[in-house]
Amino acid sequence: MISFQNVTKKFSSNILALEDINLDINKGEFVFLVGPSGAGKSTLLRLLAREYLPTSGKILIDNIDVTKLKPQDLPNYRKKIGFVFQDFKLLDDRTVFENVSLALQVRQLPDLEIEKEVERTLKLFEIWNRRNLFPRQLSGGEAQRTAIARAIIGKPEVLLADEPTGDLDPQTAWSVLSLLGEINSWGTTIIMATHNKEIVDVQKRRVISIKDGKITKDKSEGKYEFH
């Protein structure tokens, strides 16, 4: 479903973020991307979200070359992809309800439909009672649940998670991971960049290790290691 073919990304002539990446990820997979800071994990996710274009190579999703998408095609493409960040990127002046609604508003759905869907999702994520609070009034776990709710409410095919547990205490990190596991069980492909060794080692899922912009390991039931 997702295929990186000889993908290289240079930010300037001296900074090589990714080098000759070849990678296939199947529909419905849950993949961990591990590696030290600056290894290229976030760059790989951002290439997939078409925030960046590769310097060379192809990125295919369902046999469509993402690098060839025209600017006017990007909004529709991005609706297939959910993105979760370490710092949540919730909008400070909007409540939990409004933050999650935003993902459906950009799809220009009717207000009534948005309200119903947001209510359903917030209840599912157990943050319905926090719906009128602003991000600064939430705990880290609640903020990340809100961010994940916003990312998946549009039913994306792929969820990209960039260090989603990075700022959370271990207990909250586990609850977020459990939530991601549940989302994966619905058929959503999840690619999660993480530094959390404990989580990666226990989960026994596919682990892709990246170091200095290259894939060093790719194991189906891997562990947190990139040497």
Partner 1 sequence: MNSFDFTKRNIRRTPYQALAASMVMFLTFLTLSLFIMMAFGSQQILRFYESKPQAIAFFKDGTTSTDVNAIKNALTQTDKITSFKFVSKDEALQIYKQRNKGNPMLLELVTANILPASLEISTKSPDDLKFVAEIVKKEPVVEEVVFPEDVVASLTQATSLIRMVGIAIVGFLIAFSTLIIVMIIGFKIRIKRDEIETVKLLGATNWFIRMPFLLEGIIYACLGAILGFIVSFLIFWYFESVLKTNLGEAVQNIIPLPIIFIGELLAIELLVAFLVGGLGSIIAVRRYLRI
What is the contact surface with partner 1 in residues (CB under 8 A)? 49, 51, 71-72, 75-79, 83, 89, 91, 93, 101-103, 105-108, 111, 114, 150, 154
β-pairing verdict for 189-194 and 158-162: parallel
For partner 1, the closer CB: 103 or 180: 103
For partner 1, the closer CB: 4 or 83: 83
> Alpha-carbon distance 16 to 132, whole Å?
44
Neighbours of 123 (CB within 10 A): 12
Determine contact, residues 29/204, Cβ cutoff 8 Å.
Answer: no
CB of 67 to partner 1, least distance (A): 17
CB of 6 to partner 1, least distance (A): 26
**Which residues are bridge partners to 190 per DSSP?**
30, 159
Element containing residue 123 per DSSP (H, E): helix 111-124
CB of 197 to partner 1, least distance (A): 28
> Alpha-carbon distance 133 to 27, whole Å?
35
CB of 150 to partner 1, least distance (A): 7
For partner 1, the closer CB: 115 or 225: 115
For partner 1, the closer CB: 87 or 198: 87
> Alpha-carbon distance 58 to 50, whole Å?
12
For partner 1, the closer CB: 70 or 227: 70
CB of 108 to partner 1, least distance (A): 8
